[in-house]
């Protein structure tokens, strides 16, 4: 392994930048429009507070759904997130917990949440 010194630092950094540029070009070539991908456009996520407000449930109820495995979730650091698809699937599968006539209302609320 080569020792990184002031003399070879510039060449090492240049090689790293060139490699990153090649990867960027490769990723852009995979996109049909040539536009860089934005991961937040594809995956819509709710945190605990958002989901409690949208579904009009308490944090404890939300935790119970997570604990029994009814509502899939992801953690990032110390925060818990829920994907829009998982929430909609959860609502469809747990109609007994919500009034049937309210399911369409909750789904519309979730859809409109991202339209702001």
- pTM greater than the 0.75 cutoff: no
- How is the chain split into domains, by residue range? 45-115
Using 50 as the pLDDT threshold, list the residues of the chain that sit under it.
none
User: What pLDDT shows up at residue 63?
Assistant: 93
Alpha helices in the chain (DSSP H): 6-30, 39-42, 48-55, 59-67, 84-93, 100-113
Contact 107, 88 (CB under 8 A): yes
Cβ neighbors of 59 (< 8 A, separation 6 or more) are 48, 52
**Letter string b/e over residues 36-51, b meaning 16 or more CB atoms within 10 A of that residue's CB:** eeeeeeeeebbebeeb
């Amino acid at each position: 392994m080569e020792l990184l010194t002031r003399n070879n630092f510039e060449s090492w950094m240049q090689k790293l930048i060139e490699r990153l540029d090649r990867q960027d070009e490769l990723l852009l070539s995979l996109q049909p429009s040539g536009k860089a991908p934005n991961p937040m456009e594809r995956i819509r996520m709710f945190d605990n507070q958002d989901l409690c407000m949208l579904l009009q449930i308490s944090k404890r109820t939300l935790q119970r759904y997570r604990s029994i495995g009814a509502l899939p979730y992801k953690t990032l650091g110390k925060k818990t997130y829920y994907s829009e698809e998982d929430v909609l699937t959860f609502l469809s599968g747990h109609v007994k917990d919500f009034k049937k006539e309210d399911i369409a209302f909750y789904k519309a609320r979730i859809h409109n949440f991202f339209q702001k």
